[in-house]
Structures are given as structure tokens and as C-alpha cells.
Chain A
Amino acid sequence: MSNRLRRILAPIILLAFLFGLWELIVRIVGVPGYILPPPSRIVVTFFAQFGFLWSHAIVTLAEITFGLLLGSAGGLLLAAAIVYVPLIEWAVHPLIIASQMIPVFAIAPLLIVWLGYGLWPRVVVAALICFFPVAINGVDGLRATSSETLELFRSLGASRWQIFTKLRFPGSLPALFSGWKIAATLAVVGATIGEWIGASRGLGFLMLESNARLRIALVFAAILMLTLVGLLLFGIVRIIERLVLRWRRPASE
């Protein structure tokens, strides 16, 4: 068996084993379905309710996407400001790190007070959570430029803007994409938290509501859907990364 095939199969086999164990224990012990349904029932529910789940997933996907875009743009801008303006670095850098100690849960209810019950509070929660890995990786990436290359640009008479667009920004992309991949997974968490605090649609809302009604199979089906949405988003970021960083591949082989 090729190494590649083995690597694809390994997690699938582990997952199948764990689900098999779960199924077996639930059936042998006779756990009631409203406490822990067997995986088979979750899968059946997932497909039976697919249209319903999807109608909620679209809302969550929109929140995640807007949150990711907003958080990435904010993170990138702040990273550039930190790298270019020393005063901003001294003033803002420690505060950003400190801000990460505040749980997003604590801010989310306030956002609903400020922004109402629309899509926006959830988008902002997702953006707040995405922003950090993008900003931190952006700062590292923008600083990764070697001093020799910088001197080459200066000897060619490059302006600050040219140094940014032709040297620092393209050079920061590998680090930025690492940040974006983390942000894509965190955005899912952010949007779900946002929906828990206050929403009338979306997978997070559905989980909470189904939980209250003891429709546990539906809770798990929603979790499954959320996982798939998150993987889809992560996959899209990976594909964009591969296209943009085409030049990297020969070196990594």
C-alpha cells in the first residue's frame, strides 16, 4: 500500500473504529436516545433532515465567511501598521495580546446590545476571533524580509509603497496563509458562539434549541454539518494557498 493511501485511510479507520465502539456501547448498555443516540441514528437524522440542516448551515456559513474576511482585513491592516509605525507597535502590540485573554463569550452579549439581532453581531464575534492569528502571523511575515533584499530594493530606488507591494507583502504570504488556516477554523467557533448568545437561525442556534427539546440526534447532526462546513472553508483556504504559493512547491518536494 502506498504511503499516500495509508495516510488518507488511517484517520478514516480510526474514526470508524471509534464510532463502532460508540454504537456498540450504546446498544449494549441501552442508553436512551435522548441522552446519547448511536452514530447510526445521527447519520440517518443527518440525511433525513439534510435540507433543514442546510438551510441553517447557509446562515452560519455566511457569518463565518464575512467574519473571516473582516477579521483578515483588520488583522492584515494592523500587522502593516505595527510593522511600519513603531509607536503603534509599542502602544498596541501588548494590548492585542492582552485582549486575547478576554473570552469572546464575555463580549458577545454586549455586541448584541450594540448591534442588534441581525447577522452583524455574529459576524463581528467571528471576526474578533479570526483577527488575532492573522495579525500575529502578518507581523512575522512582513518582518521576514532579508536586509540584503531590502538593500537591493533601496539601491534600485524603490519607494516605500513598492517595497511593500513587491517585497514585504508577497514575502509575508506563507506566514499569512498559516494564520488564515487557523482563522478559518476559529471563525466556525466564533460564529457558533455568536449564535448561542442570540440568534434565530444557524447551526449554533439549532444545536441549542434541539438540545433544549432533547432532540439529541439532531444536535449531533448539526455538529456533523458544522464540521463539514468548517472543513469546506478550510479546504477553500488551502486551495487558494496552493494557487497563490505555487512557487513554494518545488522546494518542499
Chain B
Amino acid sequence: MAASGPILEVDGLAVSFPAKGHRTEVLEDLSLALDRGTWTTCLGPSGCGKTTLLRAIAGLIEPDRGSIRVDAEFAGLSQIAYLPQQDTLLPWRTALRNAILGSEIERRPRADAIRQAQGLFERFGLASAMDQYPSQLSGGMRQRVAVIRTYLTHREILLLDEPLGALDPLTRTDLQQWLLDVWGELGKTVLLVTHDVEEALLLSDSVLIMTPRPARISRIIEPELPRPRSRTASDFIDQKETILGLLTGGKP
């Protein structure tokens, strides 16, 4: 195990999809690196290929070119946990049993998994949801359960695809703070994709700006903002303006 150096390295990644006789380039020569225990956010306009990037890293689509290495190894998929954008809780399982899905598939001892999940549910304000079915939970609660499920896969790298995208602004703000609390306590390396500039600035150690299709990383911004961050601090607002400027291609 290489303790130094990035835990995840994506190098020269290119992905294209067939479309009416030719191929549409979605990602083109995209490179990025994540340091262990950090929070990185890919920020880009809608439809720029953010989901494709995560699916490629998760090993769900075969890239045309490029490499993905975890701890300098090529076969590191078992270290990556992916949380898809859509609600993927199983409606026939209670929240707690949804959360232990990863352990169940990896055939870990069930009693341990349940005990651990109960602990996390209680620590992160989900105790009341434990025995409820997803249909009985609010959108915000469902996403919390899905995030806990991702944590309980015992994998080192978490890929989060706009986990707060479908929530109302109030719940969203609430969950951003909640995500920070969970991350602060449980560690892990996070790669989030979103189109919400404030969200990226609030959560991340580094923000990677993506170009429109075919997507590359055009800039890396490391917000030098002390945590906990405040949306109303003047530094925060300045950085937000800068990033908005980059996203709109310098246009006012």
C-alpha cells in the first residue's frame, strides 16, 4: 500500500457513446487525482458528463482510453463505492436493511453489520427511521440512508452523484451540513459531482471545474476558506463569483 501519493488517479480518460452512425465524445483527456481523506468536487454545467465520469471510475462503463488507478494499482474497484443520482433504496427493505446491503452482498457477518448500522443511524439522527420503509421517509431522510449505505460498504473512496440534487433548498442546506458532519467523523475520500457552486465551496478541499462536452478539467480551485465555512463570508462570496465566471466562460 502506498500511503503517500494520491489514493485515486485518473489519467487521460476518454469516453464516447455511439450516436447515429458516429460517436459522441463525452469525456476527453480528463485527468484528476484525489488525496486520501480529502473532499473533492467536480463542478460543471448540466449534461457535461459528470455522471459519465463517476460511472467510468466505478467501473460501470469501459473508457476508450486512459487509466484509473487506486493506490497506484489498476484493479482497485473494490475500493470504490458509488452512489447513483436516482433514488436507489430498495422499497421492500426497511431503512436499516437498506443500509446493510453492501455488507450483505460481500457476505460479512450480519449481526456485526446491523450493530454498526444501528450505531451510525443513532449518531447521525436517523434513529427514528430505522424500521421505516423508504416510502414512509421524506426525500432528505432517504438520501441520508443512501449515504449511510454508501459509507457502510467499507470502501475507501466514495463517489457521490448529486446526492442533494432532487431536494428542496432548505433540506439541501440541512443535508450539506449533515454530509460535512458525517465526513468529519468517518473520514474517507469523497468525490462529489454537482452543478451547485455554493455546495462545492461549502464542502470541498478542492473544486475541479469541468468544461462543457467533451469534458476536461479546466481549472482546479482550492478554496482557502477556514472550516466551518459560511455562505455569507466575503471570501466565500468572492470565490463563488470567480467560479461562476469560470463556468460561464468569462462572460459577465
Contacts and interface: CB of A to CB of B under 8 A. Distances in A.
| Interaction A to B | yes
Interface string B61-94: 0000000000000000110111111101011110
A155 B58 contact: yes
Contacts of A146: 86, 88
Q: Which of B85, B86, B92 has the most chain A CB atoms inside 10 A of its CB?
A: B92
A251 interface: yes
B153 interface: yes
A243 interface: no
Nearest to B83: A152
Given A155-B80, A156-B153, A149 B106 contact: no
Interface in B110-127: none
Interface stretch (A49-57, A162-170, A198-206): A162-170
B105 A155 contact: no
B59 A250 contact: no
Given A146-B86, A148-B85, A247-B92, A155 B135 contact: no
Contact of B133 (A151, A167, A170, A250): A250
A151 B82 contact: yes
B60 interface: yes
State which size class the interface on B falls in.
20 to 34
Given A151-B82, A250-B133, A158 B88 contact: no
A154 interface: yes
Contact of A170 (B82, B84, B86, B90): B90
A30 interface: no
24 contacts: A146-B86, A148-B84, A149-B84, A155-B77, A155-B80, A155-B81, A155-B82, A156-B101, A156-B153, A157-B105, A158-B105, A166-B90, A166-B101, A166-B105, A167-B90, A170-B90, A170-B92, A171-B92, A246-B133, A247-B93, A247-B133, A248-B91, A250-B133, A250-B135
Interface of A: 146, 148-149, 151-158, 162, 166-167, 170-171, 173, 245-248, 250-251
Interface of B: 55, 58-60, 77-78, 80-86, 88, 90-93, 101-102, 104-106, 133, 135-136, 153
